[in-house]
C-alpha cells in the first residue's frame, strides 16, 4: 500500500558546521565553544525527534485516509454493479429472444462477483459517502456567488454522470482536498521547526543547514525537511 517512511538508518535534521576563531584560542574560549556545540546538538536532536514524530503521524493518518477512500469507492462500484445486475434480472424475465437472453445471462454472471456483498462495513461506508458528499457540496458552495474550479467541473458533469459516478467524483475530491491539507500542514509545521532550530544554533555560533527528504503520504510524494546532523 504505502512505501515505508524511512529507507534505512536514522534520519537527522541539521548539518552542523562549527565556526571557530584562531586555532590557538584560549582554553576558556574553547570550553565555551564546546558548550555551545553541545547545546546546539541538543537543540537539533529535539527538533529532529519532533519532526520525525510529525512525519510518522502524518503517514499513519494518510494511510487511514487512503484505506477509507478505497473502501468508499469500492462500495460505490459494488452498488453500481448490484443495480445493473438487478436491472438485467428484470429484463431477462421479459426478454423473448434466446440470443439476447444468453447475452444477458453472460453479463449477469460477470456482474455477480462485483455485486457480492462480502464487506461487512459496506453499509457504514455508504453512509460515510453520503455524509462526505454533503460536506463537500456545502464547502464548495459556501461562499456567496463563488464556486471553486473543481465544484464548477463537478456541476457541469451532473448531466453526464450517474448518481454513483457523481458520488465517486465527490468522494475523490474530498479525499484529494483532505490529503492536500494534511500535506500543507506537515510541510509548514516541519519547516517552522527546522527554521527555529537553525536560528537557535546560529545564536550559539553554530551554522546549521537543512536537507530535504522525499516522504510518501497516501498516493502522493512530498519533500519534507527532516533533520540530519553531521559534525
Q: How many CA atoms lie within 13 A of 128 on its CB side?
A: 19
**What are the C-alpha distances in Å from 80 to residues 75, 115, 175, 195, 197?**
9, 8, 20, 50, 53
Domain of residue 82 covers 14-19+29-224
**Cell 460505490 maps to which residue?**
76
Ranges in the chain, pLDDT < 70: 1-29, 115, 117-166, 226-231
What grid cell was written down for 189? Answer: 509545521
> Could you give the angle at the alpha carbon of 65 between the alpha carbons of 2 and 81, nearest 5°?
95
Alpha helices in the chain (DSSP H): 27-94, 98-115, 122-140, 149-156, 163-203
190 close to 225: Cβ distance less than 8 angstroms? yes
Total domains in the fold of the chain: 1
The answer to the question of residue 217 being in a domain is yes
**pTM strictly above 0.75:** no
4 within a domain of the structure (yes/no): no
Instruction: Identify whether 188 is part of a domain.
Output: yes
pLDDT of residue 95: 75
Q: Which of 136, 146, 195, 194 is nearest to 170 (CA)?
A: 136
Between vectors from CA 180 to CA 177 and to CA 184, what angle results, nearest 5°? 140
Q: Taking a C-beta distance cutoff of 8 angstroms, is the pair 180, 141 a contact?
A: no
What local confidence, expressed as pLDDT, does residue 123 receive?
A: 55
- pLDDT value of position 57: 96
Residue 153 falls within a domain, yes or no?
yes
Residue 20, pLDDT score: 43
14 and 229 Cβ atoms separated by less than 8 Å: yes
* 45 domain residue, yes or no: yes
pLDDT of residue 48: 87
Q: Name the average pLDDT for the chain.
A: 72
Considering the domain boundaries, does residue 8 fall inside one? Answer: no
- Indicate the SS3 state at residue 219: coil
pLDDT value of position 8? 38
In a domain, 229, yes or no: no
Q: Grid coordinates standing for 137?
A: 457540496
Amino acid at each position: 500500500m504505502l512505501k515505508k517512511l524511512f529507507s534505512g538508518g536514522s534520519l537527522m535534521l541539521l548539518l552542523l558546521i562549527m565556526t571557530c576563531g584562531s586555532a590557538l584560542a584560549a582554553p576558556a574560549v574553547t570550553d565555551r565553544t564546546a558548550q555551545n556545540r553541545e547545546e546546539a546538538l541538543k537543540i537539533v536532536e529535539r527538533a529532529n525527534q519532533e519532526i520525525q514524530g510529525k512525519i510518522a503521524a502524518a503517514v499513519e493518518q494518510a494511510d487511514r485516509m487512503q484505506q477509507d477512500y478505497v473502501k468508499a469507492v469500492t462500495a460505490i462500484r459494488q452498488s453500481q454493479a448490484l443495480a445493473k445486475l438487478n436491472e438485467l434480472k428484470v429484463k431477462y424475465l421479459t426478454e423473448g429472444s434466446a440470443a439476447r437472453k444468453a447475452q444477458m445471462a453472460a453479463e449477469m454472471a460477470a456482474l455477480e462477483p462485483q455485486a457480492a456483498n462480502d464487506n461487512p462495513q459496506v453499509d457504514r461506508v455508504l453512509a460515510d459517502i453520503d455524509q462526505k458528499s454533503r460536506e463537500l457540496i456545502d464547502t464548495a458552495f459556501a461562499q456567496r456567488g463563488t464556486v471553486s474550479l473543481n465544484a464548477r467541473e463537478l456541476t457541469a458533469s451532473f448531466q453526464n454522470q450517474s448518481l454513483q459516478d457523481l458520488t465517486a467524483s465527490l468522494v475523490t475530491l474530498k479525499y484529494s482536498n483532505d490529503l492536500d491539507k494534511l500535506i500543507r500542514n506537515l510541510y509548514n509545521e516541519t519547516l517552522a521547526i527546522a527554521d527555529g532550530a537553525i536560528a537557535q544554533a546560529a545564536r550559539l555560533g553554530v551554522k546549521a543547514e537543512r536537507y530535504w527528504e522525499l516522504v510518501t503520504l497516501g498516493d502522493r510524494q512530498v519533500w519534507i525537511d527532516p533533520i540530519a546532523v553531521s559534525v
